[in-house]
Structure 1
Amino acid sequence: MPRHPADPEPVRSTKAGAVFALGLVAVVTGLLVGGAVPASLALLLSRQARREAYASQGYLTGAIWLRRGEQLAWLGLLLAGAVLTLAVVLGIFTWATAPAGQDFAPDVD
């Protein structure tokens, strides 16, 4: 079916690019646990971008950027979760192996 001349040109969604950029930042900073913030923002923004792309009836493109951004965001969350889990396990291990009891010399009479 040919396009009608009055139809607008398809354009890439700017939100899809933002989701990809936030996902990339989430992966890069995921090991510093700071990746959870941009990852969460990317996932929230991706929902909006999907709704807008669906409502545009094909005039907004960028589904691949959106999908890759979501994947990177989930990877950033996974990295942040793994670092937090490792920190908790190491903290518990350190606490459990710490010497117990008096940590000062007893009084000698």
Structure 2
Amino acid sequence: MTQAAAPGPMLRHPLDPDPVRSTKARAVYALGLVAALTGVLLGGVVPATVALVLVRQARREAYASGGYLTGSALLRRGERLAWAGITLAAATTVVLLVIGLLNVVGTPGGRDFAPTID
């Protein structure tokens, strides 16, 4: 009986490219961070939207590269930060709407006429 040879370390072909971190992953993380930091100021919606668009593109490119593009951890973190920025912006909008409605309800409506004296 012959024993099967134990699989050794995976050898790369000399023409295979080196794995490299995706630049879009870095951009997604940076935009997600900006979105999370400025989400309360309602300015985080724009970078969050751009980050979410880039996440889709970066995931497609990483899948198509066959494992030579890395950075999936940065993509996940950036996506979570982008969603946090959108959530903060939505929460701020709701709070401002409630405050505005309470101000409208608290003020008397109609014209305020001077009292008439008979």
What's the TM-score bracket when you normalise by the shorter of the two chains? over 0.9
Q: Structure 2-normalised TM-score? A: 0.87
RMSD of the alignment, in Å? 1.2
The percent of aligned pairs where both chains have the same amino acid is 62
1:59 match: 68
**Partner of residue 84 from structure 1, selected from 88, 93, 103:** 93
Greater shift, 10-19 or 97-106, is seen at: 97-106
- How far is the alpha carbon of 1:2 from its aligned partner? 1.2
Which one of the candidate residues 49, 60, 63 is aligned to 2:58?
A: 49
Partner Cα separation in structure 2 for residue 34 and residue 108 of structure 1: 54
Q: Partners in 2 of 1:28 and 1:103 — Cα distance?
A: 45
Q: Are residues 1:37 and 2:54 paired? A: no
Distance 1:48 1:101 in 2: 55
* Equivalent residue pairs, number: 109
> Structure 1: 5+ residue runs without aligned partners?
none
Match of 2:36 among 17, 27, 33: 27
TM-score, structure 1 normalization: 0.94
Which 5+ residue runs of structure 2 have no aligned equivalent? 1-9
> 1:107: how far off?
4.9
Residue 15 of structure 2 corresponds to 6
